[in-house]
Amino acid sequence: MSIESVLDEKYTEAVDARLNSYDAYIEYQISEARRALAFLAQFFDIAGARVLEIGAGRGGKGIAYARAGMRVTSLDVDVTALELGARAARARGVDIRFLAGDGARVPCPAASFDAVLLDSVIEHVRDPFALLQECVRVLKRGGITFVVFPPFYGPLSGHIDDFVMIPWFHLLPRRVVEKHLLSLKQTNGILSPREAYQVCATLNGLTVFHFKRMARRAGFAFDYLRARPFLTHPGARFAVGLVFALRHPPRAQNLRAVLSRARREFDLGTALLVLLLCALTPLVFVPVLQEIAAGGCKAVLRKVT
């Protein structure tokens, strides 16, 4: 096994190219969802499952889920994104039902789905508790909701790290964040600084603490809950590669490959940021302190009511 195989070159390329075009972003979403499938299969029978994806975006994740055998309904308030998603699904020969609507008022009967997927969605809605209540309503008894979100007080949880890599910058007064982003003239592929700010402005301030409390009030039990660090994509590749290099021979050759890649991907600012994020990593496992250190929270909620 080589160091390049551990670093998953195809996924790395999808991450790095995700903003090059809408099609590249859809392929990135497909890669992300593929990586989640083995995890999700631990909690429900994927084959033939009726699944509601709330916040479908441009449809890439739904495509991967449908290819895995799920019967997918994708819901989003953004009609343009739904059109792109439907076009992408048709181009790939995948059957997905696309619906325009609000996740807090799903236009489907009660007990319609085996699973609801909330991947990078709940932190943007006006009323997370209402969303979770609606998930309970549309789920069959014993169904699950898969949730991924960045806790609001995390170092890079502002969804603006494609333009600003300063930890906790999104916590500054909104007018300061807006002024800085709108002063930037260069786009990053399909994403403009204005669009990044608009996404940041939708954040509802969700924390791990409040998420746990709302989920239980809504009628869920936790099958799984983990806060996790985010070391940036180059930082994660370096960390994974370093662990592999130290554990597997030929160690010297593997270590050289890791360092060579790091030299290509790191500048001084990136290196200092990764060092800070690494120093914060132990706090991710400490209640309360995890709020300022975590890059993401992943949960599987089981309907018990």
pTM of the model: 0.93
* Nearest one of 163, 154, 17, 22 to 83, comparing CA atoms: 22
Amino acid at 27: E
Indicate the burial class of 300 (C-beta count within 10 angstroms; 0-12, 13-18, 19 or more).
Answer: buried
Indicate the burial class of 77 (C-beta count within 10 angstroms; 0-12, 13-18, 19 or more).
Answer: middle
Amino acid at 43: F
**Rounded CA gap, 270 and 256, in Å?**
20
Which tens digit of pLDDT belongs to each residue from 96-143? 999 999 999 999 999 999 999 999 999 999 999 999 999 999 999 999
Residue 7's pLDDT band (cuts 50, 70, 90) = low
CATH architecture of the domain 3-157+203-303 equals: 3-Layer(aba) Sandwich (3.40)
Residue 5's pLDDT band (cuts 50, 70, 90) = very low
**Rounded CA gap, 51 and 73, in Å?**
6
User: CA–CA distance from 64 to each of 69, 85, 145 (Å)?
Assistant: 9, 12, 17
**Rounded CA gap, 209 and 36, in Å?**
24
- The domain ranges of the chain are 3-157+203-303
Which tens digit of pLDDT belongs to each residue from 49-73? 999 999 987 889 999 999 999 999 9
Which tens digit of pLDDT belongs to each residue from 205-247? 999 999 999 999 999 999 999 999 999 988 988 888 888 888 8
Beta-carbon-side half-sphere exposure of residue 59 (alpha carbons within 13 Å): 29
Q: Which two tokens stand for residue 277?
A: 């994020």
Cβ atoms of 62 and 88 within 8 Å: the answer is: no
Which tens digit of pLDDT belongs to each residue from 132-171? 999 999 999 999 999 999 999 999 999 999 999 999 999 9
- Angle at which helices 193-201 and 174-183 cross, to 10°: 160
**Rounded CA gap, 4 and 257, in Å?**
9
Cβ atoms of 297 and 150 within 8 Å: the answer is: yes
Q: What is the mean pLDDT of the chain?
A: 93
Which tens digit of pLDDT belongs to each residue from 247-280? 888 888 888 988 998 899 999 999 999 999 999 9
**Rounded CA gap, 303 and 218, in Å?**
9
User: CA–CA distance from 122 to each of 74, 151, 203 (Å)?
Assistant: 15, 10, 9
Residue whose token pair is 């991450």:
15
